[in-house]
Structure 1
Amino acid sequence: MNIENYKVPVNSQVVLSQYPTSEDMKKHNDDIREIKIPELVNTLKDLHLKLHAEEKKGILVVLQALDAAGKDETISYIFSNLNAQGLKTTSFKKPSEEESKHDYMWRLHGGLPARGEIGILNRSYYEEVIVTRVHDLIDDVHIPDDKNREEIWDVRYRQINDYEKYLTENGFHVVKFFFNMSKGEQRDRLLERMKNPKKNWEFSFNDVKEREYWDQYQQAFEDMLNQTSTEHSPWYVLPADDEWYARSLVSEIMINVLQEINPQFPEITGEEKEKLQEYIEKLENEMK
């Protein structure tokens, strides 16, 4: 597959409906799940272990979508297979009272990766240009003094782009996945959660209420993609109706990012190498 097909061009004016929600890949689910995904995950694990050992670079992964699009499952089936010590996952929900007292990016910091880590944001600061916009939740206190209410979104897009560039310039790559799901597929997945007692815990009544704003969300997503897909932190639009195919795309894109970083296991040289040999001999002599 050509992962570039799913990458949103820089300075684009794409229409979200031009990106497929399905590539008719459900019929290949068994092969993707049982053959392709394990191979991709093994490659990803090896690269991630080197990233963690080297501790020079980090990766921030943003997962953004409507409910039931597959964010949680991508974490479970792909990222959870990686070395837990080099992995950090943060879920963003409605801002707490404490978080609301700060700038809207403030609560991001606890989810940022350290060098050698992959940090995953299950939803993210992008909620502040999506949910906040759809439901008109912006508070006057968060609008710059020299801007009006309609200008705030362009301001936030610029601020987000600047911050992601700052992260990239400091050694933290930013890769962003949007799970592009059709309204019919979401309906089917929500019904499954509602009807299956083992999945009831995944369902929220608010998920159905939010469907009433489907068109507004699509417009907000489209603006987000067009305004914030950059050279340093691109968006990838996944055909989320094909759940296993979407997960394989995430794996391939992450492998590509790590291969560009090209992490290496640290080499022991000089005095440390001599000391290592000394301690090897010491432990081996204990066996005699």
Structure 2
Amino acid sequence: MENINIEDFKVKGKIELGDFLTKLPIDTEKEQEELALDAIQKKLSKKQDAMYAHNRYAFLICLQGMDTSGKDSLIREVFKEFNPRGVVVHSFKTPNATELEHDYLWRHYLALPEKGKFAVFNRTHYENVLVTRVHPEYILFENLPGIEKVEDITPQFWENRMEQIVNFEKHISQNGTKILKFYFHMSKEEQRKRLLKRLENPEDNWKFSTGDLKERDRWDDYMKYYEEAINKTATDFAPWYIVPADDKGVARYIVAKTIWEEMQKLTDITEPELDPKVKANIEVYREQLKK
């Protein structure tokens, strides 16, 4: 596990999703995966505490993938050692009435992390160029000028929206937010197995939705639009990582290791030092408390 090279998953040029593996050709036991992840979790927790005290950087972790690709369980496992005050998770669902009264990025701006904190977007602003590409009729709910029907949505509309997303990410990056974007690359066969598991295990029944099957029928469309979105929005300041997601344990390790390596690059993060006057009088304060 330790030999996994994060750079192998980073998008560095134009890609085709079909060229990427959904499962790495390595044999690992579940216990090995858990031990490797546990070691990184502890390091991440300590570094995050220092980042919180340093109060200059924030991290935005973006998770995208098809239904059942493991986003929810990854959040639980990767971030469970974090101090709860240092990480906030946002699961973006269908925009509500208030959100639709604003531009599509508005609700994502509201959820950006404070300095010193992590925000995890479980489904992200990319839904606005993924789900809406597969179902362009959803755009009509945004009540945009010049768009009265689906036929009014031109290819240039999507080009503009991609550019807006890149500008959004560039803006927050220049103001201290580190952005890491992960696409969970799962095979259609693996999704079939996971959906069946939801139906066959009573404790998992609640996770199943008939909508999952409807979206599964549009698999090829989603792959096409994911590929296009990744190619148009992978930048140095907001890189994409294509994570093989058929093995959840390996996927969790890759994400955790990526975050750790990015945090290591922030060499100026230090815990603030005690005020010199307070430090000089530590013994005085200690004696006061003893009395």
Q: TM-score range by the shorter chain?
A: over 0.9
Unmatched 5+ residue regions in structure 2? Answer: none
2:216 matches 1:211: yes
Alpha carbons of structure 1 residues 148 and 30: separation in structure 2 relative to 1, 3 Å: same
2:17 matches 1:16: yes
CA drift of 1:219 comes to 0.4
> What number of residue pairs does the alignment pair up?
281
Among 178, 186, 189, the alignment partner of 1:181 is: 186
What SS does the corresponding residue of 1:261 show, helix, strand or coil? coil
* Of 264-273 and 50-59, the range deviating more from structure 2: 264-273
Report what 1:220 is aligned to. 225
Report what 1:92 is aligned to. 92
**What pairs with 1:65-80 in structure 2 (closer than 5 Å)?**
65-80=65-80
Distance 1:13 1:143 in 2: 33
* Of 49-58 and 179-188, the range deviating more from structure 2: 49-58
What SS does the corresponding residue of 1:142 show, helix, strand or coil? coil
Distance 1:79 1:106 in 2: 26
* Of 188-197 and 271-280, the range deviating more from structure 2: 271-280
Deviations 1:21-41 (A, max 9, x none): 1113464333112x2111111
Alpha carbons of structure 1 residues 241 and 143: separation in structure 2 relative to 1, 3 Å: farther
Unmatched 5+ residue regions in structure 1? Answer: none
2:276 matches 1:282: no
- AA aligned opposite 1:92: F
Distance 1:188 1:277 in 2: 64
- AA aligned opposite 1:14: I
Among 188, 195, 202, the alignment partner of 1:190 is: 195
CA-atom RMSD, angstroms?
A: 1.7
Distance 2:200 2:47 in 1: 40
Distance 1:63 1:144 in 2: 32
Report what 1:266 is aligned to. 272
TM (normalized to structure 1)?
0.93
Alpha carbons of structure 1 residues 149 and 138: separation in structure 2 relative to 1, 3 Å: farther
Report what 2:30 is aligned to. 29
CA drift of 1:109 comes to 2.3
Distance 2:27 2:209 in 1: 26
CA contact 1:108–1:125 (8 Å) conserved in 2: yes
Report what 1:165 is aligned to. 170
Distance 2:237 2:139 in 1: 28
- AA aligned opposite 2:237: H
2:101 matches 1:116: no
Report what 1:240 is aligned to. 245
- AA aligned opposite 1:64: Q
- AA aligned opposite 2:53: A
Distance 1:144 1:160 in 2: 21
What SS does the corresponding residue of 2:202 show, helix, strand or coil? coil
CA drift of 1:144 comes to 7.1
Distance 1:23 1:102 in 2: 42
**Percent identity of the aligned residues?**
35
- AA aligned opposite 1:212: D
CA drift of 1:277 comes to 4.3
- AA aligned opposite 1:191: L
* Of 234-243 and 201-210, the range deviating more from structure 2: 201-210
Alpha carbons of structure 1 residues 151 and 144: separation in structure 2 relative to 1, 3 Å: farther
CA drift of 1:186 comes to 0.4
Deviations 1:204-248 (A, max 9, x none): 111111100000000010001101110001000000001100100
Report what 1:4 is aligned to. 7
Report what 1:231 is aligned to. 236
TM (normalized to structure 2)?
0.92
Alpha carbons of structure 1 residues 144 and 240: separation in structure 2 relative to 1, 3 Å: farther
Deviations 1:2-33 (A, max 9, x none): 10110011xx3210111111113464333112
CA drift of 1:98 comes to 1.2
CA drift of 1:149 comes to 1.9
CA drift of 1:143 comes to 6.1
CA drift of 1:148 comes to 5.6
